[in-house]
């Protein structure tokens, strides 16, 4: 039974007594309607002789006189027989925490007046727009003055070193003919090496001519290095931001 008067939200303890044989397993179940009371802790079972004391700790939520229903306790004896007891009904008187006032005594508040909407102003745009345009114009002027970033191209010395390393690796691996084919392809558009290309064509498919092949590879390497070291086109166009020199 509840211990003393309770108000909404209080925690109360409800105690039940049942008869159960020794060694029986007892299952006590929570209240059926959680809107009236909620079990906040597992029921505490205490055996006293042939009886079992079951203490339910619940929080009550419904004000007024209510009937709280506990589902019947399930008892399983030592032989496995199951017995379900009848539901238990507990009367609760729960006081409300709200002041006791009738609806007629509660006067509703008057409606609030409409809020005055502030006038829209174009001042932020007037201030920020010129600043934004000035910033964009300054960045564009600086970019046009500096010109595009120069494109870095590999130097002739780096290309020559790379070619020499590749040719040397092929020759060391016994692939002199492969090195010769590579050099012939890289120099095929050079009219000044026509004599060398003619000798390459004569020795390319000859058997047992490795000494001549190696000599052509060395000569072709020198020609390729000279080609990479000599620029083909000299640009006379000034960079952006620079002026032509007067003769």
Poorest-pLDDT segment among 107-111, 166-170, 198-202, 237-241: 237-241
Higher pLDDT, 81 or 208: 81
- As a whole number of angstroms, the distance between CA 72 and CA 55 comes to 14
Q: Residues 198, 201, 207, 208: what is their CA dihedral angle, to the nearest 10 degrees?
A: 40
Higher pLDDT, 7 or 174: 7
- As a whole number of angstroms, the distance between CA 30 and CA 72 comes to 10
The pLDDT mean for the chain works out to 78
Query: Is there a contact between 31 and 38 (Cβ–Cβ < 8 Å)?
Result: yes
pLDDT single digits (tens) 78-126: 888 999 999 999 998 898 887 776 666 777 788 888 877 777 778 888 8
Model confidence at 190: pLDDT above 90 = no
CA–CA distances in Å: residue 17 to residues 54, 55, 58, 104, 214: 6, 9, 17, 46, 112
């Amino acid at each position: 039974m509840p211990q003393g008067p309770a108000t909404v939200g209080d925690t109360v303890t409800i105690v039940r007594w049942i008869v159960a044989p020794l060694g029986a397993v007892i299952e006590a179940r929570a209240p059926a309607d959680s809107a009236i009371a909620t079990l906040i802790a597992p029921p505490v079972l205490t055996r006293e002789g042939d009886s079992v004391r079951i203490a339910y700790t619940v929080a009550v939520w419904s004000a007024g006189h209510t009937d709280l229903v506990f589902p019947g306790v399930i008892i399983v004896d030592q032989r496995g027989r199951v017995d379900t007891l009848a539901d238990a009904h507990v009367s609760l008187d729960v006081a409300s925490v709200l002041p006791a006032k009738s609806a007629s005594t509660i006067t509703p508040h008057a409606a609030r007046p409409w809020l005055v909407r502030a006038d829209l102003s174009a001042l932020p745009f007037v201030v920020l727009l010129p600043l934004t345009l000035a910033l964009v114009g300054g960045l564009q002027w600086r970019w046009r003055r500096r010109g595009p970033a120069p494109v870095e191209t590999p130097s002739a010395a780096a290309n020559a070193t790379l070619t020499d390393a590749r040719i040397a690796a092929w020759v060391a691996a016994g692939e002199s003919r492969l090195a010769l084919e590579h050099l012939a392809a890289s120099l095929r558009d050079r009219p000044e090496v026509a004599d060398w290309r003619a000798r390459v064509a004569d020795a390319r498919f000859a058997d047992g001519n490795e000494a001549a092949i190696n000599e052509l590879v060395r000569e072709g390497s020198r020609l390729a290095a000279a080609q990479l070291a000599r620029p083909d086109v000299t640009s006379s166009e000034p960079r952006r931001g620079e002026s032509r020199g007067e003769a």
